[in-house]
Amino acid sequence: MGFHPRPPIDYSGPYFEKYQALDDTPMGEALTRARVEMVARHCSAGVVDIGIGGGRFVLECPGSAGFDVNPEAVAWLKGRGLYFDINQLPIAAITCWDSLEHVPDPEQLIAKVGEWVFVSMPIYLNQWDCLRSKHYKPGEHIWYWTQSGLIAWFARQGFGCVEVNEKESELGREGITSFAFRRYGDRP
């Protein structure tokens, strides 16, 4: 697990528009379908999507809502009645599609989750692999994990890994792995 101390980037401005355009492509459709199917394999209730990208997943995953820090994304969610204030408890399940590595305090976020966390993110073989990767983006990506490091980190948060897949990489997203984590026992 690695941490880069550069302050997080500003997520305002055209960030949301960029991801709406990406969502509106064949790749965006395929990724959303893979993500919805993954959630459906494990969780029948709606999820809260943390960092909604362009919002397509929130629209297509039944019963879902979203949270974002981008003002345009927040307005979009509120305008559709899909905004979820993550300070509300409990949160039964969340998705972090390409977002957990952006969260300044991921432990605080995960501590709010009752049962399921679904994640997709770049996974690295080691520090050298990370530093030479196209996914090494200080300021945008704050956290960097190996697969065993992410699974161990979630275990320390009280979650066991129940699925790992490379579907996003198979669809053309180089180096992206998806995970389903389920809380076991009481919260730490």
Task: Please state the domain extents for the chain.
Answer: 2-183
How many other C-beta atoms are found inside a 10 Å radius of the C-beta of residue 152? 13
Q: 186 falls in which pLDDT band (50, 70, 90)?
A: low
pLDDT of residue 122 exceeding 70, the answer is yes
Angle at 17 between CA 21 and CA 75, to 5 degrees: 130
At the topology level, CATH places domain 2-183 in Rossmann fold (3.40.50)
- Dihedral of CA 176/68/159/64: which sign? negative
Give the per-residue pLDDT at 11.
86
Predicted structure pTM score: 0.94
User: 181 and 174 in contact (C-beta within 8 Å)?
Assistant: no
pLDDT digits 0-9 by tens, 1-30: 898 888 888 888 888 999 999 999 999 999
User: 70 and 15 in contact (C-beta within 8 Å)?
Assistant: yes
**Scanning the structure block, which residue is given the tokens 């997203």?**
173
pLDDT digits 0-9 by tens, 62-115: 999 999 999 999 999 999 999 999 988 789 999 999 999 999 999 999 999 999
